[in-house]
Amino acid sequence: MGELLTVRGVSSGYGQIRVLRSISLNVLDGEIVALLGANGAGKTTTLNTISGLVKLSSGELLFAGKSVARQPAEMLPGLGLVQVPEGRQIFGSMSVEDNLLLGGYHRYVGNSRSVRGDVREMFEMFPVLGQRRRQLAQSLSGGEQQMLALARGLMARPRLLLLDEPSLGLAPMVVSQVFAHIGSLPERGVTVLLVEQNAKQALEVANRGYVLENGSIVMSGKASQLLKDERVRSAYLGDDNPAGPGEA
């Protein structure tokens, strides 16, 4: 597997506020990589720095081996690097279908037939969106809006999808559905960098994970190992007794 994303020694922040302190991580083609951390650790800032929304102050960012550190954010979807932001940020006063068409906008000119074909594919993948295609996006439930945000991201035909807290605010049943969709993305040729508070489900779907604390990567490894790690269990899985009940 080749390296699709390389983050090397990256620092960034907001004005004088330094948030990321020389972080390094990578994502291989076909992987799902989870980025975990407490509130304020810098997870969203990491995604926003990769997608060009926050300017990096030092370090290197490579996508498919090419530097993207100086690329304007709006150029990155065309290269295959697409972010689904926290809070979904769908266009509430537009229909479900129009939200999807917008997701493929940079491919639309001269290629509207393939974009429309992809909309049909999204309705197969997320039947509820097909049933509600003409409804305003703001009238969807939270879970349906999250599906729409994911589908809109996929409309750009990403090679790498940056997902920011896709399970935020969803009922447990819906969270499982969202994670099932995320787990199927590599089969569709989509590699994923996933930011999640829901550490357990994120690590269950991921191949590898990184833990961010105060803007620094403090731990990394295979997801299966992180799931067993005592520090991860007590800090992020809400598990005070990693050995399990009844065991010493």
Nearest alpha carbon to residue 222 among 239, 235, 238, 210: 210
Residue 119 lies near ligand ATP (rule: CB under 6 A)? no
Residue 191 lies near ligand ATP (rule: CB under 6 A)? no
Residue 37 lies near ligand ATP (rule: CB under 6 A)? yes
Q: For residues 173 and 183, what is the distance between their CA atoms, to the nearest angstrom?
A: 16
Cβ proximity to ligand ATP: between 20 and 150 the closer is 20
Cβ proximity to ligand ATP: between 40 and 117 the closer is 40
Residue 166 lies near ligand ATP (rule: CB under 6 A)? no
Residue 152 lies near ligand ATP (rule: CB under 6 A)? no
CA distances from 86 to 72, 119, 195 (A): 20, 22, 9
Strand order in the sheet with 160-164: 81-84, 160-164, 191-195, 32-37, 208-213, 216-222
Identify the residue among 23, 32, 41, 84 touching ligand ATP (CB under 6 A).
41
Identify the residue among 39, 70, 110, 172 touching ligand ATP (CB under 6 A).
39
SS (H, E, C) 16-45: CEEEEEEEEEEEECCCEEEEEECCCCCHHH
Other CB atoms within a 10 A radius of the CB of residue 37 amount to 25
Cβ proximity to ligand ATP: between 197 and 220 the closer is 197
Residue 206 φ then ψ, to 5°: -90, 160
Residue 87 lies near ligand ATP (rule: CB under 6 A)? no
Least Cβ distance, residue 162 to ligand ATP (angstroms): 12
Identify the residue among 12, 33, 34, 43 touching ligand ATP (CB under 6 A).
43
Residue 44 lies near ligand ATP (rule: CB under 6 A)? yes
Cβ proximity to ligand ATP: between 14 and 105 the closer is 14
Residue 16 lies near ligand ATP (rule: CB under 6 A)? no
Q: For residues 194 and 75, what is the distance between their CA atoms, to the nearest angstrom?
A: 21
Other CB atoms within a 10 A radius of the CB of residue 57 amount to 13
- The site for ligand ATP (CB under 6 A) is made up of 14, 17, 19, 37, 39-45, 197
